[in-house]
């Protein structure tokens, strides 16, 4: 699904309060490459017809160089490896740039059955590396509308394709999945009782302070951000890191996501470098629409 973004500036600012989303520390997993199974007959027929519309044919050699993990494979292994089971969810969104290696095996159906609460499951694509940010904006909109909003975003990169993709071919992509989910709002005692707790009384979560999508020159926008949020940590996805002036690091801390990822680059870096001692901004850039995506995270329950 694709939102119309041409000529629009999207910024959602949500002060702390009962309707604000709180995000738990993400869980990330990288999947070692394995030889992909031959594409199923229906998958091959689908892709043959699809590529024919562009005057192309399936590239089996390209396919064989992929990591071999479907969205369902990655979702299953990531969820199986969580330290604690998921709570009941209302909504799950899959966010990705490169499509699933299987058109027949529907990851959304698997997640609707697997996740507690029998959540509604949707996909967000066509946004490039902005897909996870758009998915979070959808969850924030659901919460703002007063609907139950216990939700999760499953960010996915997979590298097994029957065609060439410039983003995946420029730097080989590793199969990766990152789970970004909401935590319950604080209880009567001000503590969060969800599974994001680390240690007695600690709250391993952050308030989603703002979401922004802007057609701007990224360095100018990040300089402005560093001025307004001195000392902030800015977690950069690969697409943005390639374009950032390193001198920005004198005003704030820059953390670069893995170069062998697309949609998961910034979010895997957030999972690895999660902190509760400073304001954090997760950011990435879609060069095709020339749009900068940002999410501001206020640590813990701080005001």
111 and 172 assigned to the same domain: yes
- What does the radius of gyration of the chain's CA atoms come to, in whole angstroms? 19
Quick check: helix, strand or coil at residue 15?
coil
Q: What is the rounded CA–CA span in Å between residue 153 and residue 168?
A: 22
Q: Residue 74 burial (CB < 10 Å; 0-12/13-18/19+)?
A: buried
For residue 245, being part of any structural domain is answered with: yes
Is the per-residue pLDDT at 5 higher than 50?
no
Q: Are residues 236 and 92 in the same domain?
A: no
Output 169 or 250, whichever has higher pLDDT. 169
Strands (E), the chain: 10-13, 22-24, 27-31, 91-96, 120-124, 151-157, 175-183, 205-214, 233-236, 253-256, 280-286, 291-299
Q: Answer yes or no: is 3 within a domain.
A: no
Residues with Cβ within 8 Å of residue 264, at least 6 apart in sequence:
28, 155, 156, 157, 176, 177, 178, 257, 258
Domain, as residue range, for 86? 22-34+45-53+60-183
Dist CA 293 CA 133 (whole Å): 7
Are 79 and 167 in a shared domain?
A: yes
In this structure, the answer to whether residues 132 and 212 fall within a common structural domain is: no
Q: Is residue 109 part of a domain?
A: yes
pLDDT of 2 higher than 80 = no
Same domain, yes or no, for 172 and 215? no
Q: Is pLDDT at 8 greater than 90 in this prediction?
A: no
CA–CA gap between residue 57 and residue 46 (Å, rounded): 11
- Quickly tell me which residue has 């801390």 as its tokens: 253
Q: Is residue 5 part of a domain?
A: no
Q: Are residue 176 and residue 49 in the same domain, yes or no? A: yes
Residues 227 and 273 in one domain: yes
Give yes or no for a contact between 283 and 266, defined as CB atoms under 8 angstroms apart.
yes
**Average pLDDT of span 179-194:** 58
Calculate mean pLDDT across residues 122-128: 94
| pLDDT 10s digits, 73-87 | 999 999 999 999 999
Could you tell me how far CA 184 lies from the centroid of its own chain?
20
DSSP secondary structure string, 221-238? HHHHHHHHSTT-EEEEPH
C-alpha 100/C-alpha 179 separation (Å) is: 17
Query: Residues 175, 230: one domain?
Result: no
- Would you tell me how many other CB atoms lie within 10 Å of the CB of residue 160? 26
- Residues 203-221: tens digit of each pLDDT: 488 999 999 999 999 999 9
2 domain-assigned: no
Q: What pLDDT digit, counting tens, does each position of 48-67 carry?
A: 999 999 999 999 999 999 99
Confidence of residue 11 (pLDDT cuts 50, 70, 90): low
Same domain for 176 and 236: no
CATH number for position 144: 3.40.47.10
Structural domain includes residue 190: no
Looking at residue 230, what is its pLDDT?
Answer: 87
- Both 64 and 177 in a single domain? yes
Whether residue 248 is found in the same domain as residue 171: no
* Judgement on whether residues 213 and 174 belong to the same structural domain of the protein: no
What is the pLDDT, as a whole number, of residue 3?
Answer: 34
Mean pLDDT lowest for which of 2-6, 7-11, 88-92, 114-118?
2-6
* pLDDT band at residue 192 using 50, 70 and 90 as cut-offs: very low
Rounded to the nearest integer, the mean pLDDT of the chain is 85
Q: Look at residue 113 and tell me if it is in a domain.
A: yes
pLDDT band at 24 (very low <50, low <70, confident <90, very high): very high
The sign one gets for the Cα dihedral 126, 132, 133, 137 is positive
Q: Which of 150, 183, 216 is the last residue of a domain?
A: 183
Structural domain tally of the chain?
2
Record the tokens describing residue 73, joined without a space. 């494979």
């Amino acid at each position: 699904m694709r939102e119309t973004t041409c000529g629009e500036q999207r910024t959602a600012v949500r002060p702390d309060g009962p309707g604000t989303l709180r995000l738990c520390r993400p869980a990330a997993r990288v999947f070692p490459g394995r030889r992909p199974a031959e594409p199923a007959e229906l998958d091959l027929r689908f892709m043959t017809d699809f590529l024919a519309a562009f005057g192309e044919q399936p590239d089996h050699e390209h396919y064989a160089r992929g990591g071999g993990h479907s969205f369902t494979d990655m979702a299953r292994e990531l969820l199986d490896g969580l330290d604690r089971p998921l709570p009941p969810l209302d909504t799950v969104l899959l966010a990705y740039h490169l499509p699933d290696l299987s058109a027949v095996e529907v990851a959304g159906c698997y997640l609707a059955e697997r996740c507690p609460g029998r959540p509604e499951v949707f996909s967000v694509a066509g946004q490039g590396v902005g897909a996870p940010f758009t998915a979070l904006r959808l969850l924030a909109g659901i919460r703002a509308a007063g609907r139950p909003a216990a939700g999760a975003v499953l960010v996915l990169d997979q590298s097994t394709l029957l065609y060439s993709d410039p983003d995946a071919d420029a730097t080989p992509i590793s199969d990766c999945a990152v789970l970004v989910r909401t935590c319950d709002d604080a209880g009567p005692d001000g503590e969060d009782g969800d599974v994001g707790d680390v240690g007695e009384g600690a709250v391993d979560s952050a308030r989603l302070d703002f979401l922004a999508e802007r057609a701007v020159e990224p360095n100018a926008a990040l300089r402005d951000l560093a001025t307004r949020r001195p000392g902030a940590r800015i977690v950069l996805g690969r697409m943005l890191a390639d374009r950032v002036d390193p001198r920005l690091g004198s005003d704030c801390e820059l953390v670069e996501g893995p170069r062998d990822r697309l949609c998961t680059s910034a979010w895997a870096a957030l999972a690895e470098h999660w902190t509760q001692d400073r304001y954090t901004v997760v950011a990435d850039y879609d060069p095709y629409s020339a749009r900068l995506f940002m999410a501001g995270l206020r640590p813990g329950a701080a005001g």
